[in-house]
Amino acid sequence: MIYAATIFLSSFLLFLVQPLIARQILPWFGGTAAVWTTCMLFFQTLLLAGYAYAHASNAKLQPRSQAALHSVLLVIALALLPIAPNELWKPAGTEEPISWILLVLTATVGLPYLLLASTSPLLQAWFARARPGVDPYRLFAVSNLASLLALIGYPLLVEPFLGNREQVVWWSVLFALFAFLCSGLAWSISARKQTAVGQAEENSAPPGRGEILLWLALSATGSVMLLAVTNHVTQNVAAIPLLWLAPLTLYLLTFIIAFEGGKLGGKLYRVEIFWSLVLTWLVGMAWLLVDTRYQFDLWLQIGMYLSGLFVACLFCHGELYRARPAARHLTAFYLTISAGGALGGALVALVAPFAFKAYYELGLALVALALLAAVRFARLNRIARWASLGVLLAVAACAAYDGARFQNDVHASARNFYGVIRVKEYGAPGQDYHLRRLVHGVIMHGEQDMTESGRRKPTSYYQPTSGVGAALAAIKEQGAIRVGVIGLGTGTLASYGRKGDVYRFYDINPQVIAIARSEFTFLSDSEATIEMALGDARLNLEREPPQGFDLLAVDAFSSDAIPVHLITKEALAVYLRHLKPDGIIAFHVSNRFLSLVPVVARLAEEHGAHAVLVSDKGKDGDDEHTTTDWVLVSRVRKALEAPAIQAVSPEAPDEQPGWRTWTDDYSNLVQILK
């Protein structure tokens, strides 16, 4: 069927372009997960614009005028191909990242994405005009199925086998095919005469204000739950790359089930039974929110929140399908759903980072879901009414408790585009025990013994027995040294600085720089000259003249996620340009979920350099010692054979001969999952 095929292709391209374009601009903004959240906001907003265009053109224009307008826009979009962000859009480092990302996306994929976004409601309206009396809403399930396949297929089939340029070319070819099909349908439907059944639907009563508010509330709640759960599991539970894929997959799956409208949707979403599941999972998610005993139980956390997201979104989307209007008002219905999705995205991506100092979105999303469930289930029976009210009160109490608990032992906190950072303090000034720790999500990013006798000692990942500690000890024998550090944290490495040394730190987050200077003393206590460069480290290094570093520490891997652009063949070439001939690059590769050692070893081999792995496990019974893995890379083998490095028992790094070298055009995160 031509309608289903065109909708399928448009939705496939719609969701394929999201990871494709986000992957290309990710390196420009530090590789942070917040880039994806901002991209999601852009895509949801443009989806709203596409639905608004579909609604307005369908309501205001005659079929022939609508076909002409749509065809012209498709031709203009074809003229803008291929899609690829221009190098001129690369940020200098001082720009506000959210607005800059939105500008880049608008200039790069704005019009093609808008036309793809408008396709599903437009073609469903055209289908209703051509086939009156046949349910067009099932085509929405086809649309979401295509979106789901694109989303799953990108990391599994597209990214591992096609480079950026090839992805752009193939996407552009498929878009041209879509434009041909869509334009043909537009002109064919404009020639059809309206039937008597179609005229009867034209006269159906428009939806009331209450119905529109219900559509908006249900779609916004589903969107907020999607992004809140995504943020929670990727930043507070496990920062596993591509984990955002699972929540979005479940979100789309619930749309498919709810709007399929046949036996599948009818069996899986029966509100007279499903209400008990919604309330049960609400209680389960609220419980995990406050019970810290299971904070690091990865499978329990992910299992509960992902299954809870599925139940929550199936409730929201199942209720949307039950409240759908006649086909005459189909575009208004989809416009409202899209508005709710964009509203939810804006609340999480725009409002929350500036309104809150911590991640309160999940607790608030659970409260909103419980309130909506109480309203909808109150009509079922007395048990459902009182149970939903009780769950609402319990969830609200848990959310309030979680908000208060988040600030326990917190000396200072800040939140911006790059996430939430907290300074946790244990003990007090003047006591024998006084410790400050920098935490990003649930991951420590450095700590300092604040007592007078301990505050100048390197701690955590940077102790003298670590790879970077041994490398610094080795090069100190040369006299005054120049050290570059990608990723500031607390500034711990500055504690190694001596008079005459220069330590140049690169960090993209201005709040990290402010907190390192105001809450920790590593920088101010250091005898070395401290230099600071704000912005993405790689972009800064590409612009700067050779720095002549004796050592460059690459330690900007936020939580357990990695900015891929800092660990590619081209990135290592940039680092080597700034290194002295016998200098050392120290890659911090400690990671619970990813095996990065073979990746770095392959990069070193590609550049004719040598590499060793230093695993610092600490001594038995030393609970305060932080386990670390560092890979040291140098052009000169003798530099890695220095006595100070040999003293920490370096090993030959693991190699994977069958793996492709990571480049700016190719990486494979799935392959390195432990």
Hey, which of 239-248, 492-501, 537-546, 551-560 has the most confident mean pLDDT? 492-501
Q: How far apart are CA 117 and CA 111, in angstroms?
A: 10
Q: Residue 281's domain is classified under what CATH number? A: 1.20.1250
Would 655 be classed as within a structural domain? no
Mean pLDDT for the chain overall: 85
CA distances from 301 to 84, 239, 245 (A): 37, 13, 16
pLDDT band for position 257 (cuts 50, 70, 90): confident
Residues spanned by the domain of 390 = 205-405
**Higher-scoring residue by pLDDT: 591, 239:** 591
User: Which among 159, 343, 314, 152 is positioned nearest to 245, based on CA atoms?
Assistant: 152
Judge whether residue 198 has pLDDT over 60.
Answer: no
Least confident of 383-387, 418-422, 473-477: 418-422
Shared domain for 193 and 267, answered yes or no, is: no
- Reduced to 3 states, what is the DSSP secondary structure of residue 610? strand
User: Which among 255, 382, 364 is positioned nearest to 319, based on CA atoms?
Assistant: 255
- Residues of 9-44 as b/e, b for ≥16 C-beta within 10 angstroms? bbbbbbbbbbbbbbbbbbbbbbbbbbbbbbbbbbbb
Q: Which residues make Cβ contacts (< 8 Å) with residue 68, sequence separation at least 6?
A: none
Would 417 be classed as within a structural domain? no
Judge whether residue 657 has pLDDT over 60.
Answer: yes
Q: Which strands form 529-534's sheet, in the order they lie side by side?
A: 529-534, 502-507, 482-486, 549-554, 579-588, 628-634, 610-616
Would 351 be classed as within a structural domain? yes
Q: Which residues make Cβ contacts (< 8 Å) with residue 657, sequence separation at least 6?
A: none
Q: Residue 529's domain is classified under what CATH number? A: 3.40.50.150
Shared domain for 102 and 146, answered yes or no, is: yes
Shared domain for 332 and 216, answered yes or no, is: yes
pLDDT digits (tens, 9 = 90+) for 331-357: 888 889 989 988 988 888 778 877 877
Percent of the chain exceeding pLDDT 90 equals 37
User: Do residues 599 and 673 lie in contact, with contact meaning Cβ atoms separated by under 8 Å?
Assistant: no
Would 157 be classed as within a structural domain? yes
Q: What is the DSSP string of 168-182?
A: HHHHHHHHHHHHHHH
Shared domain for 285 and 371, answered yes or no, is: yes
Would 211 be classed as within a structural domain? yes
Q: How far apart are CA 551 and CA 477, in angstroms?
A: 13
Q: How far apart are CA 671 and CA 665, in angstroms?
A: 16
Judge whether residue 31 has pLDDT over 80.
Answer: no
Least confident of 14-18, 540-544, 558-562: 558-562
Would 282 be classed as within a structural domain? yes
Shared domain for 196 and 238, answered yes or no, is: no
How confident is the model at residue 311, as a pLDDT?
Answer: 94
Shared domain for 18 and 37, answered yes or no, is: yes
User: Which among 422, 446, 414, 585 is positioned nearest to 523, based on CA atoms?
Assistant: 446
The structural domain count of the chain equals: 3
User: Which among 268, 23, 33, 14 is positioned nearest to 144, based on CA atoms?
Assistant: 14
